[in-house]
Homo-oligomer: A and B are copies of this chain.
Amino acid sequence: MNSKKIAQDTAKVLQDYLTYQAVKVIVAQLTETNPGEAIWLRQYSSDGKLQDGERYIEGLMSELEGKKLVMRILTVRDNLAEQVLEYLPEMVSSSIKQANLAHRRHLLERLTQSSTPADNAESGLDANEYSDENK
């Protein structure tokens, strides 16, 4: 397991995602202040270009309408990075631990159920399940 390579790939995914979020923020702002530009930016950004954030920004520079938006995207992305990055390790780490607990419990339930089908057939759970019909 090459964790250095995985860290690099993950950082790239994170950077691309922050670029996508920066564009989303700016489209929302422009919708209020300059609807025409908002429509242009949304359309320009719609066909998967944002999957590679740096290529997207370079591409934007070739467009007359894009040039003036580039600086804004860079600034918003930088601000976003400052606001969210430091909290991510703790957020993701605790979310994974919580999810793992839930998955382990579900797995245990499934393994217990499938290994004792005969017991389940006569269990209180099944009796409750049909209680409405029996009333």
Q: How long is the Cα–Cα vector from A103 to B76 in the complex, in angstroms?
A: 14
Number of copies: 2
The proximity string for A residues 95-128 relative to B, scoring 1 for CB distances below 8 Å and 0 otherwise, is: 1110110011011001100000000000000000
SS class of chain A's interface: helix, strand, loop or mixed? helix
> How many residues of chain A get a CB closer than 8 Å to chain B's CBs?
50
Q: How long is the Cα–Cα vector from A7 to B79 in the complex, in angstroms?
A: 12
Give A residues with C-beta under 8 Å from B. Answer: 1, 3, 6-11, 13-15, 17-18, 21, 25, 54, 57-58, 61, 67, 70-71, 74, 76-78, 80-89, 91-93, 95-97, 99-100, 103-104, 106-107, 110-111
Q: List 30 A-B contacts (CB under 8 A).
A: A1-B80, A3-B83, A6-B80, A6-B84, A7-B87, A9-B21, A10-B17, A10-B18, A10-B21, A10-B84, A13-B13, A14-B92, A15-B95, A15-B96, A18-B96, A54-B99, A54-B103, A57-B103, A58-B106, A61-B107, A61-B110, A67-B110, A67-B111, A70-B103, A74-B104, A77-B96, A78-B97, A85-B89, A85-B92, A88-B89
